[in-house]
Amino acid sequence: MAQLNLIGRTSDEIGSLVGPLVDRPFRARQVAHWVTLRGARTFAEMSNLPKELRRILDDRFSLAEPEVAALTASRDGSAKYLFRLDDGASVEAVAMPEDGKLTLCLSSQTGCAVGCTFCVTGLLGAGRNLAAAEIVGQYRVMARERGPNADRINLVFMGMGEPLLNRIEFGRALDVLTECVSPRRITVSTSGILPGIRWLAARSRRPKLAVSLNAPDQARREQIMPITKRYPLVELMAELRRFPLERGRRITFEYVLIRDFNDAAEDARAVARLLRGIPSKVNVIPLNEDSVWLPGLREPKTATIEAFGRELRDAGLTVTVRWSKGRDVAAACGQLKGLHQLAEMRTADH
């Protein structure tokens, strides 16, 4: 009989699976606690369980995480993980420590079908959805290796894939992750998948929402984000105005600045008009250049970036200019899987 993986399952689900094997109900809760909150890697380390129960659990179940195929350290302290999955597919994720905190950038798919033209991952094409165990597994590995001394761990779904196109498995992963990480410390980034935004709005425990905006008008947004043709900007903004926000929460708008395309002062003023009335903050992200995958696209000059941020602030918006971490190892926003794909292509040529 194939072993069932307990990773990617909630405490209640683990309790239901383990319940028939234990003599007292609290034993099932102990197992769930070891898996979901203590991150146990083996049943042998569940020291408060009887040895015979640990043996039975080891026969029936597994605690399988994605394999770390490669680990690349950046000069800024961040680390890029290449995870190899059971079917041979792979994903990348990033751990970013800063001031005692640890931010983990997780992936939800093995590729991305959205196809944003400024994103290497998108240009590499669609892949499959990740299972809940594969999503939660990324968190477990990086939190264990990078976060033992972190005062706080934040999760951002800004890695490979569009999470709101993987709602079933991504939703299951969220149910597990929110048992150990507050939804207030989890951010889900979307390109604007309207059914997905409505799905997220209906959840009882909602993470924070981030929307990849990148242009203040339909025409230019279509140029760099083809998904805009299916989910027009006017409909996206209407949906975001209806999105339920808890007290003190805001929607984050991510705006990748591309030289001579969307970086003018008037573009900033147009963004401010577009966001008027929405509790929001804007992350201005200078383009992470890639001469191989993104030829011709350039990061704006520093003065232009600073001027863009000033225009938004002068319009009353909360703004952060986000200089991406891990750029030297292609671990920054929009770069994931690019170097690995190049290496595979070169290997295939020889």
Task: Write out pLDDT tens, residues 301-330.
Answer: 999 999 999 999 999 999 999 876 656 665
Q: Is the pLDDT of residue 281 over 90?
A: yes
Higher-scoring residue by pLDDT: 270, 332: 270
Region 58-87 average pLDDT: 95
Structure token digits, residue 274: 């577009």
Please tell me the predicted confidence (pLDDT) of residue 333: 64
- Tell whether the model's pLDDT for residue 235 goes beyond 80: yes
Topology of domain 4-62, per CATH? Answer: DNA polymerase; domain 1 (1.10.150)
Catalytic residue among 119, 289, 333, 344: 333
Closest CA to 250 of 335, 341, 332, 184: 184
pLDDT exceeds cutoff 50 at 342: no
Encode pLDDT of 187-214 as tens digits: 999 999 999 999 999 999 999 999 999 9
In the predicted model, is pLDDT for residue 344 greater than 60?
A: no
Q: Which residue has the tokens 């520093």?
A: 302
Known catalytic residue at 333: yes
What residues does 102 pair with on adjacent strands? 97, 153
For residue 288, the model assigns a pLDDT of 86
Residue 192 CB-half CA count within 13 A: 27
Vertex 290: Cα angle to 307 and 73 (nearest 5): 100
CATH class in words for 67-349: alpha beta
Question: What is the number of other CB atoms lying within 10 angstroms of the CB of residue 231?
Answer: 18
Task: Note the pLDDT tens digit of each residue in 149-195.
Answer: 788 999 999 999 999 999 999 999 999 999 999 999 999 999 999 99
Highest mean pLDDT, choosing among 120-129, 276-285, 336-345: 276-285
For residue 79, the 8-state DSSP code is E
Supply φ then ψ for residue 214, to 5 degrees.
Answer: 75, -10
Q: pTM (2 decimals)?
A: 0.92
Q: Which long-range contacts (CB under 8 A, 24 or more apart) does 17-26 make?
A: 17/61, 18/57, 18/61, 21/53, 21/56, 21/57, 21/60, 22/53
Domain ranges (residues) in the chain: 4-62, 67-349
Could you give the CA distance from residue 340 to residue 164 in angstroms, rounded to a whole number? 25
Over residues 22-70, the pLDDT tens digits come to 989 999 999 999 999 999 999 999 999 999 999 999 999 999 999 999 9
Residues 6+ apart with CB under 8 A from 307: 265, 268
Catalytic annotation on 112?
Answer: no
Query: For residues 108 and 85, is the Cβ–Cβ distance under 8 A?
Result: no
Catalytic residue among 92, 169, 239, 254: 92
Q: Give the pLDDT confidence score for residue 138 in this predicted structure.
A: 98
Residue corresponding to tokens 């000033």: 310
Confidence of residue 346 (pLDDT cuts 50, 70, 90): very low
- Do 4-62 and 67-349 fold alike per CATH? no
Report the pLDDT value the prediction gives residue 335, as an integer from 0 to 100: 55
Whether residue 345 is predicted with pLDDT greater than 50 in this model: the reply is no
Looking up tokens 């640990």 gives: 54
pLDDT of 339 > 60? The answer is no
